[in-house]
């Protein structure tokens, strides 16, 4: 009975924290490296995540493992913005860490465009038009976004970043070859986008039948 109660407590905490953070079951599963069926099973109380997964969820939600195991935690409720861990009263690696990641990505991309603008300005001073720098900034920005999406983002972020890279490269090529009327090359972006989309759908998630998700009944 105690085991069943613990499953119900963990299930309720996972569901509540997931909704508080604004994640769908699929998004949470992707961040943890499991299938959405596993998350659904945990939230129904039909199984328990293993210890490492539970710790990863606690870090993601900005709470402690004790919080995940407790039914009552007054004055310890985390907020969607602060990511306050249970009993710490400090900002943890939850929401704040996600914001920092987005800021790093945004600053990196802004730096690329700032450099392009400086090069363009220097060209104007020298009496040259260096517009190509702006066309080059598109794929360079996309490459940075691909790196950040691979490290920190979801499959959707990766798909959008790679798609931007594909179209950015095509745009740059067409600009460099503009004297030869190469704009039909842009149509290559359509099948390339389909290939990227299908590639991002390939899953490496753990199946819901993993032993850690379904411990023997006590």
Higher model confidence: residue 22 or residue 210?
Answer: 22
Measure the CA–CA gap between 106 and 148, rounded to whole angstroms. 10
- pLDDT value for 167: 95
Q: Is 102 helix (H, G, I), strand (E, B) or coil?
A: helix
The mean pLDDT of 78-102, rounded to a whole number, is 52
Residue 191 predicted with pLDDT over 90: yes
The 10 Å Cβ neighbour count of residue 212 is 16
**For residue 94, which of 139, 131, 58 has the smallest C-alpha distance?**
58
Q: Which of 26-40, 43-57, 83-97, 120-134 has the lowest mean pLDDT?
A: 83-97
12 has pLDDT over 70? yes
Number of CB atoms found within 10 A of residue 93's CB? 14
pLDDT for residue 82 is more than 70:
no
Q: Would you give the distance in Å from CA 116 to the centre of its chain?
A: 27
Q: Which pTM was predicted?
A: 0.55
Contact in structure between 140 and 112 (CB atoms under 8 Å): yes
pLDDT of 102 > 70? The answer is yes
Alpha helices in the chain (DSSP H): 2-21, 25-32, 36-44, 51-61, 65-69, 95-125, 132-151, 155-176, 189-201
The CA distances from residue 53 to 14, 32, 57, in Å, are: 12, 7, 6
Q: What is the mean pLDDT of residues 165-174?
A: 93
């Amino acid at each position: 009975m105690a085991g069943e109660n613990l499953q119900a407590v963990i299930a309720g905490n996972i569901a509540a924290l997931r909704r508080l953070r604004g994640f769908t079951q699929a998004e949470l599963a992707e961040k943890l490296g499991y299938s959405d069926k596993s998350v659904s099973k945990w939230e129904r109380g039909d199984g328990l995540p293993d210890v490492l997964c539970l710790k990863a969820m606690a870090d993601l939600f900005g709470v402690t493992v004790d919080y995940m195991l407790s039914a009552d935690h007054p004055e310890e409720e985390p907020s969607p913005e602060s990511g306050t861990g249970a009993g710490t009263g400090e900002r943890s690696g939850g929401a704040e860490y996600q914001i920092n990641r987005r800021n790093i990505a945004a600053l990196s991309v802004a730096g690329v465009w700032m450099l392009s603008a400086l090069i363009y300005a220097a060209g104007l001073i020298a009496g040259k038009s260096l517009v190509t720098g702006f066309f080059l900034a598109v794929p360079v920005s996309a490459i940075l976004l691909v790196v950040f999406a691979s490290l920190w983002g979801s499959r959707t972020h990766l798909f959008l970043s790679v798609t931007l890279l594909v179209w950015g490269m095509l745009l740059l090529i067409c600009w460099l070859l503009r004297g030869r009327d190469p704009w039909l090359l842009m149509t290559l972006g359509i099948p390339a986008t389909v290939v990227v989309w299908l590639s991002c759908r390939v899953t490496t998630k753990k199946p819901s039948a993993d032993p850690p998700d379904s411990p023997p009944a006590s």
